[in-house]
C-alpha cells in the first residue's frame, strides 16, 4: 500500500514537472497573437513583444537625411522618430541619420532605392537625371514666391502627390510628401541684381539637367557638387555662386566665403519624405496608416520649423560682423527682368526636354494658378 502510494507520488510529481516545463516553453500561442514573422514583412524582430496592445511588431527603421543635426531635414526625421515611438509604445524605433553618415546625397538616394535604408528625406535635384519630371522643382518663378502658398501646393497637389509619385515609384522611390525648406537666395561675390550679372559666373547646382538650363539662360556656367564640397569650392573660387534657403547658407557658413546674398524669390527649396517602394508595400495596413498619418501631420510642423530656422539664419548672418554680407533685395522691376528670361525655360521644359510628361506640367500649373489666385 505504502509502496503504491510512493509510486503514485513520483508519477504525480513527474506529470506536474512536465506541465510546468511545457508552460515555460509555450511560445506557440504568443506567436499567433503577435502575427509572427510574416506580419513584419519577413524580418526577424528578435523579440515577440510589440506595442502595448500588440498592434505593432518590434522593429527599427533607418531614416537618412541630407542635412546635419539641428538643420530642418534632420530635425524632421528626429520629430518623426519621436512620434512613431510614442504612437507604437516604443515597439517601432526610427534612427535619424545625418548627412555624410552614409555618403553623399546621390549615394543616399541610391541606398534608399536599393532598400539599404527604409526612409529618406530627399531633394528632387539629386535624382533629376533619373526621374525627369522631378525636375519641375528647378524651374524659376514657377511655384508661388510665398513659401506658405508653395507649401499649400505641395500638400494638396494631385499632380505631385499622385502623378509624380507614380513616376518616382518606377525607380523604387515612394514620395509620401513634398514640403518646402523655405525661399532660396543666391549668394555670390558680385551682387546679383539683373540676369546679366550672371555672365561668366560658375554656379553650383545639384544633379539636375534642368538646373543647368535655368542658369544657362542667364549666361552662367554650372557645376554639380555635393553641398559638403561647396564651402571649399566657394572659398577657392572654383565655384562663384550657389542657391539655398537662408538657414542653410548660415549653418553651412557659405556667407563666410561670399560677399553678397540676393533675396531673389526665384524658387522655394523642396524636399520629399520618401520610402523604399517595396519595403512600404510590404508593411501591414496598420504600419502604412501609421506612417502616412504621421507624415501628413508633419506638414504643418515642418513649415513652422523651416520658418523659425530661416528667420534665425537671416538674423545670425546680419549680426555676424566678422563676416559682413551685403543683403540685396530685388525690386519688383528687377524680378520682372529675371522672369522675362526664366519663363521661356518653362515652355522649353514642357515641350523640349526628353521624358517630360506635358500633362503633369499642365495639371500642376493649373493647380498653382488656382491656389495662388485664391
Ligand atoms: O544645397 C544642397 O544640396 C543642400 N541644401 C539643403 C537646404 N538641404 C540639403 C541639400 O543637400
Cell of 248: 542653410
**Which mutation among 123, 186, 225 tests ligand 1's pocket best, with the greatest number of atoms within 8 A of CB?**
123
Please state which of the ranges 9-18, 34-43, 207-216, 339-348 shows the lowest mean pLDDT.
34-43
Atom of ligand 1 nearest to the CA of 73: 8
Residue 308 CB neighbour total at 10 angstroms: 13
Cα distance between residue 138 and residue 135, in whole Å: 5
The string of DSSP codes covering 265-290 is ---EEEEEEEEEHHHHHTS-HHHHHH
Q: Which domain holds residue 234?
A: 59-372
Cα distance between residue 140 and residue 213, in whole Å: 11
Cα distance between residue 115 and residue 107, in whole Å: 12
In short, whether 181's Cβ falls inside 6 Å of ligand 1 is yes
* Domain assignment of residue 49, yes or no: no
Please state which of the ranges 44-53, 158-167, 311-320 shows the lowest mean pLDDT.
44-53
* Domain assignment of residue 168, yes or no: yes
* Domain assignment of residue 199, yes or no: yes
CATH code of 92's domain:
3.40.190.170
* Domain assignment of residue 149, yes or no: yes
Global pTM reads 0.87
Cα distance between residue 152 and residue 368, in whole Å: 9
Beta bridge pairs of residue 371:
none
In short, whether 244's Cβ falls inside 6 Å of ligand 1 is yes
According to DSSP, the β-strands at 173-188 and 268-276 are antiparallel
Give per-residue burial for 130-152: e unless 16+ CB within 10 Å, then b.
bbbbbbbbbbbbbbbeebebbbb
> Which positions ≥6 away from 261 have C-beta within 8 Å?
185, 186, 187, 246, 249, 255, 317, 325, 326, 327, 328
Contact in structure between 252 and 245 (CB atoms under 8 Å): no
In short, whether 179's Cβ falls inside 6 Å of ligand 1 is no
* Domain assignment of residue 256, yes or no: yes
Q: Note the pLDDT tens digit of each residue in 316-349.
A: 999 999 999 999 999 999 999 999 999 999 999 9
* Centroid of ligand 1 to alpha carbon of 181 (angstroms): 10
Q: Note the pLDDT tens digit of each residue in 151-203.
A: 999 999 999 999 999 999 999 999 999 999 999 999 999 999 999 999 999 99
* Domain assignment of residue 24, yes or no: no
Give the H or E element holding residue 34: helix 28-34
**Which mutation among 71, 104, 269, 313 tests ligand 1's pocket best, with the greatest number of atoms within 8 A of CB?**
269
Categorize the per-residue pLDDT at 288 as very low, low, confident or very high, splitting at 50, 70 and 90.
very high
Take atom 4 of ligand 1 and give the residue whose Cα is closest.
227
Dump strand ranges (E) for 241-356. 242-245, 260-263, 268-276, 326-329
Task: Give the count of alpha carbons within 13 A of 178, CB side only.
Answer: 27
Beta bridge pairs of residue 277:
none
* Domain assignment of residue 23, yes or no: no
Dump strand ranges (E) for 254-367. 260-263, 268-276, 326-329
Atom of ligand 1 nearest to the CA of 204: 1
Cα distance between residue 144 and residue 47, in whole Å: 49
Q: Write down the pLDDT at residue 184.
A: 98
* Centroid of ligand 1 to alpha carbon of 368 (angstroms): 24
Q: Write down the pLDDT at residue 103.
A: 95
* Domain assignment of residue 206, yes or no: yes
In short, whether 218's Cβ falls inside 6 Å of ligand 1 is no
Cα distance between residue 66 and residue 271, in whole Å: 10
Residue 328 CB neighbour total at 10 angstroms: 18
Q: Write down the pLDDT at residue 292.
A: 98
In short, whether 105's Cβ falls inside 6 Å of ligand 1 is yes
The dihedral sign for the CA sequence 209, 113, 232, 270: positive
Q: Write down the pLDDT at residue 52.
A: 55
Please state which of the ranges 40-44, 98-102, 178-182, 186-190 shows the lowest mean pLDDT.
40-44
Categorize the per-residue pLDDT at 29 as very low, low, confident or very high, splitting at 50, 70 and 90.
very low
Categorize the per-residue pLDDT at 53 as very low, low, confident or very high, splitting at 50, 70 and 90.
confident
Range 93-106 average pLDDT:
97
Cα distance between residue 256 and residue 322, in whole Å: 9
**Which mutation among 109, 227, 242, 273 tests ligand 1's pocket best, with the greatest number of atoms within 8 A of CB?**
227
- Cα angle value 32/89/278 (rounded, 5°): 65
The total number of structural domains that make up the chain = 1
In short, whether 248's Cβ falls inside 6 Å of ligand 1 is yes
In short, whether 74's Cβ falls inside 6 Å of ligand 1 is no
Amino acid at each position: 500500500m505504502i509502496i503504491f502510494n510512493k509510486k503514485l507520488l513520483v508519477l504525480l510529481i513527474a506529470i506536474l514537472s512536465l506541465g510546468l516545463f511545457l508552460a515555460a516553453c509555450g511560445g506557440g500561442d504568443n506567436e499567433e497573437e503577435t502575427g509572427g514573422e510574416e506580419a513584419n514583412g519577413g524580418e526577424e524582430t528578435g523579440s515577440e513583444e510589440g506595442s502595448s496592445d500588440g498592434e505593432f511588431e518590434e522593429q527599427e527603421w533607418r531614416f537618412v537625411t541630407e542635412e546635419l543635426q539641428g538643420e530642418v531635414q534632420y530635425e524632421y526625421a528626429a520629430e518623426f522618430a519621436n512620434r512613431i515611438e510614442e504612437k507604437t509604445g516604443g515597439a517601432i524605433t526610427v534612427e535619424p541619420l545625418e548627412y555624410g553618415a552614409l555618403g553623399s546625397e546621390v549615394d543616399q538616394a541610391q541606398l534608399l532605392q536599393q532598400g539599404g535604408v527604409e526612409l529618406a528625406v530627399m531633394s528632387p535635384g539629386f535624382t533629376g537625371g533619373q526621374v525627369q519630371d522631378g525636375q519641375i522643382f528647378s524651374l524659376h518663378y514657377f511655384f508661388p514666391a510665398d513659401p506658405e502658398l508653395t507649401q499649400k501646393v505641395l500638400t494638396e497637389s494631385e499632380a505631385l502627390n499622385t502623378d509624380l509619385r507614380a513616376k518616382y515609384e518606377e525607380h523604387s522611390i515612394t514620395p509620401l510628401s513634398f514640403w518646402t525648406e523655405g525661399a532660396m537666395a543666391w549668394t555670390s561675390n558680385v551682387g546679383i541684381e539683373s540676369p546679366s550679372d550672371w555672365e561668366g559666373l560658375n554656379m553650383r547646382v545639384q544633379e539636375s539637367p534642368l538646373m543647368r538650363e535655368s542658369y544657362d539662360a542667364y549666361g552662367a556656367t554650372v557645376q554639380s557638387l555635393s553641398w559638403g564640397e561647396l564651402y571649399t569650392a566657394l572659398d577657392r573660387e572654383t565655384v562663384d555662386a550657389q542657391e539655398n534657403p537662408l538657414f542653410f547658407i548660415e549653418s553651412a557658413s557659405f556667407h563666410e566665403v561670399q560677399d553678397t546674398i540676393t533675396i531673389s524669390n526665384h524658387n522655394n527649396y523642396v524636399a520629399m519624405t520618401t520610402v523604399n517602394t517595396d519595403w512600404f508595400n510590404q508593411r501591414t495596413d496598420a504600419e502604412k496608416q501609421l506612417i502616412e498619418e504621421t507624415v501628413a501631420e508633419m506638414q504643418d510642423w515642418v513649415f513652422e520649423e523651416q520658418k523659425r530656422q530661416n528667420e534665425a539664419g537671416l538674423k545670425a548672418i546680419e549680426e555676424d560682423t566678422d563676416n559682413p554680407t551685403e543683403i540685396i533685395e530685388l525690386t519688383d522691376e528687377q524680378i520682372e527682368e529675371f522672369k522675362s528670361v526664366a519663363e521661356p525655360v518653362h515652355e522649353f521644359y514642357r515641350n523640349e526636354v526628353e521624358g517630360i510628361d506635358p500633362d503633369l506640367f499642365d495639371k500642376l500649373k493649373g493647380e498653382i494658378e488656382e491656389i495662388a489666385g485664391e
